[in-house]
Structure 1
Amino acid sequence: MYSYAKTSPPVSPPSSPVPSTIVYTERPSSPNPRQQARLTASSKRYKYLRRIWKFKQMDFEFAFWQMLYLFYSPQKVYRNFQYRKQTKDQWARDDPAFLVLLSFWLCASSIGFSIVIGLSFLNFWKFLIWVIFVDCIGVGLLIATCFWFIANKYLKASSSQGPEVEWGYAFDVHLNAFFPLLMILHVLQLVFLHPIINKEYFIGTLLGNTMWLFAIGYYIYITFLGYSALPFLKKTQVLLYPMTGVAIFYLLTLILNWNLSKGLCNFYHYRVYSP
């Protein structure tokens, strides 16, 4: 037999008087990590520049792989930029190994160019400073800023909202495009500079100016690939339009027998020996 005990309902505690005014306080929410990463672009640049002196932390093998692929499959290089966006939420490089290797090639090509055009030891250092800080970095800062502004102002699919082109990515695109140009004009051209290009023959003008055509054309093409890889940009094919002007200018130089490579050598001599 089971006995059932009768239980009384629970007694609620006496209600406290309700205040006439209720003040709600909201705790500040912690920022989203992805949003916080976007808001600390300056800290990312500082971290990037600080890593330039830490060679053991750089992936030089991967940077060298990118340099090779820039010649025969540049699309794979920008595919890696897309992977970086998915994993680290940034398009720009976070490893300065590519910039360090590019500096090495700038020094090596400047040594070869100085020997070919007959510069002294002191003038070589002046020439090297010009090539690194003016031709590569100075012009690169100007070009990257112009493309960064044009892309964010005119090429975005949504002008009012959505992601924007990172300035660091624009500078990386310039470095990617500058490396093949450097190898064509400052390395490959040296082999033919004295034997053919600097001679007073049309074949020299044709060979030298054709190298300039390929170098500038390839710079424009790799720049186009860099911005067309961004999914939030539209009508990036307009970046290929300067190719028409380059081709017309190339034909004019051949008609006028204007040797661009010889003019470049004369310009290097002038700015090195000028006070």
Structure 2
Amino acid sequence: MQLPTSSLSASTRPQKGHLTAYIRRLLKPKQWDLEYTFWLMMQLCFSPKTAYRHTAYHKQTKNQWARDDPAFIVVCCALVACASLAYCVTFGDTVWHTLMTVLSAVLVDFLVLGVAVATACWLYAFDVHCNSYFPLFLLLYVLQFLLCPVLLWRSYLSSALSNALYVIALSVYHYMNFLGYGSLPFLERTEVFLWPIGVMLLLLPFAVLSGFNPSIFTLSVYFG
């Protein structure tokens, strides 16, 4: 989806210099700012507006919207890999399938999806995806894993709880996208990022009444 904008000429120019510096820093773990990364993760969970106010400060001090520190992505990849491994151990996968599932979760579900949705100011757009993905990860990887004994029952209650969990997680993801792109002064009509929330709320009663359980569906896709 092309982002609505009034003027993207300055913001969509190739950022090869930023990308090169980013990759160089990725290869130098001693330069990662892990303290800021964990602070940001906490803010994304409890005060996302504070996190994006800090983005404006970053633009003023470093003259770029995107983060220049890869620590957040590295930590997210590690967390996604650990959570995926926990699912694989719990549901008894083979070593080969475990490896493929972990790689798929990190490379496809997290990284490739982020690159795919990144459009204007793509480095910053990828940051927005990563920021939005972290709360979703906590809900659909961690919390869902802990609630699996309840969510995997074949009952309307389990279906309702599972649907509610997915709607909340995906709504948080889209709301965080809205906050992230809303921080860019040259973008207009960023409220379009909130539209999927309304669609999901409309579909929620039908999903529950039909007995559809997204937790069972998702785990069946990954683990047969």
Q: Taking structure 1 as the reference length, what is the TM-score of the superposition?
A: 0.74
Preserved contact between residue 116 and residue 190 of structure 1 (Cα < 8 Å): no
Q: What is the percent sequence identity of the aligned residues? A: 35
Which of 115, 118, 132 lines up with 1:144 in the alignment? 118
Q: Say which SS state the counterpart of residue 241 (structure 1) adopts.
A: helix
User: 1:65-110 deviations in whole A, cap 9, x for unaligned?
Assistant: 1111111100111111111110111000001110111011111111
Matched residues in 2 for 1:238 and 1:130: separation? 29
1:19 alignment counterpart:
none
Quick check: 1:226 aligned with 2:200?
A: no
Matched residues in 2 for 1:244 and 1:251: separation? 12
Preserved contact between residue 37 and residue 71 of structure 2 (Cα < 8 Å): yes
Matches within 5 A, 1:241-256: 241-256=195-210
Matches within 5 A, 1:39-54: 41-54=15-28
Uncovered stretches (5+) of structure 1, i.e. residues with no partner:
1-37, 149-165, 271-275
Matched residues in 2 for 1:206 and 1:123: separation? 30
Preserved contact between residue 81 and residue 103 of structure 2 (Cα < 8 Å): no
Matches within 5 A, 1:233-272: 233-270=187-224
1:186 alignment counterpart:
141
Matched residues in 2 for 1:170 and 1:225: separation? 12
Matches within 5 A, 1:70-81: 70-81=44-55
Q: Say which SS state the counterpart of residue 118 (structure 2) adopts.
A: helix
1:109 alignment counterpart:
83
Q: Say which SS state the counterpart of residue 231 (structure 1) adopts.
A: coil
Which of 155, 164, 169 lines up with 1:210 in the alignment? 164
User: 1:178-230 deviations in whole A, cap 9, x for unaligned?
Assistant: 1111111111111111x211111111111111110111000000000001111
Matches within 5 A, 1:33-72: 41-72=15-46
Preserved contact between residue 117 and residue 265 of structure 1 (Cα < 8 Å): no
Which of 88, 100, 106 lines up with 1:132 in the alignment? 106
Uncovered stretches (5+) of structure 2, i.e. residues with no partner:
1-11
| Larger Rg computed on CA atoms | 1
Matched residues in 1 for 2:90 and 2:36: separation? 32
1:30 alignment counterpart:
none
- After the TM superposition, which parts of structure 1 deviate over 3 Å for at least 4 consecutive aligned residues? none
Q: Say which SS state the counterpart of residue 108 (structure 2) adopts.
A: helix
Matched residues in 2 for 1:253 and 1:81: separation? 37
Report deviation, 1:122.
Answer: 2.1
Q: CA RMSD, aligned part only? A: 1.6
Q: Taking structure 2 as the reference length, what is the TM-score of the superposition?
A: 0.91
Higher helix share: 2
1:85 alignment counterpart:
59
Matched residues in 1 for 2:141 and 2:209: separation? 25
Report deviation, 1:39.
Answer: 6.6
Matched residues in 2 for 1:186 and 1:115: separation? 14
Report deviation, 1:40.
Answer: 6.7
Preserved contact between residue 84 and residue 141 of structure 2 (Cα < 8 Å): yes
Matched residues in 1 for 2:103 and 2:82: separation? 13
Counterpart code for 2:155 = Y
